[in-house]
Structure 1
């Protein structure tokens, strides 16, 4: 690896790409074009992962596919690629700003009251405020529709109660959809667990573009994991926010639908 390539890959990872995606784009940018097998050989990205990596780069607007047999891939202009990555961060920040605004609107009156020395008219617990929750609360709220995103460490896949709830919802005519982060495919045990959810009736897709854990129930409320204060990759997830503002939930639903449309069906990806 040349010093220039090393810097480019580090910069791309800083902008949000995985190590495989960073390596693939940086290498492809220095070539007119390349087939997937040739790029896998040049980058040492496993051949079973290179198509997922290229699919993710295409979804993010960083790579274009040239029709043919075999198909070839070419990198877009680095200026356009950098802008696409920055735009993704702006979109994520905009979603968090909406959630943070609702959080402030919900809590600030009680915060000021607590510091005024006055008792609030009606005492409410933190859960009743609709602010702090647990991810497994979705089972209490979901009756006919669940839309979820999952990323490492995929805690929910180990919960048999979640599987039973998925089965109950789908058996009664409801629908459950989940978009998993592509890291799922690197662990056969996780794949097997995801298959048990699929057997219970869950529809699943896979993409590397999953940025946070989120569960939308009945298009009425959302459970959203906020970023952890610890930046380490293996750190525990951040706090879970319960959102029931109709406008915010609608925005999160649109975000999920967009992610779902770009993701790969789990059955073919696995």
Structure 2
């Protein structure tokens, strides 16, 4: 069982900061000298410790002579800790996106030169874990697609993760079709999720065409810019493994033009001969 005080360590507080905040939660409101005396924190350090706790939003500074400090409620401390992490992540993600163009310009040519001697067979597949790694690669396919995206999915439950990239693709004029598994072939809870996603998708992105496969889907994933002359395209896919939990599954990435074209042919056959439009789904 996790000890309650472990939360302070989890949010990155130092030993002095943890000691000060725990004591403040007991005292309620006090001055820096009083807190230093109660905790044994050196007076030369106590103001810096309190300033850091205020900056993090865990403690409120009350002006006056002398100045006093009051802790936020335990609920507010936890909520603020989560918000701090969210803001830090968004800042990190923004910094990475800002550096993306320069980074790719600098390192992609090196990577491509180093990969020139790799045999085609070795490049057929590259695997990533299902979850955030596979969703990150899916977003990349959406962002890099120039003409078409073909999505095969049970319920598109990961729409939230790729929605921004999907919107960008549509803004660029990319043609997007989404092939869902018919809800009659889904468990009731997944069918309910699918219904919500389909409603969101069709309302937010009316340019996306949707159909429902009446047969089981042996694989799921995204096909981007397939070339019927086998000279381009990329795809991410995973095979249906109902008895394997997601955290133990892997998705396959391929840039092999022939394989991508084959996935597109599979999509077209199901789309044209084994699927129905939304109007036929009750």
Larger Rg: 2
Q: TM-score, normalised by structure 1?
A: 0.46
Q: TM-score, normalised by structure 2?
A: 0.44
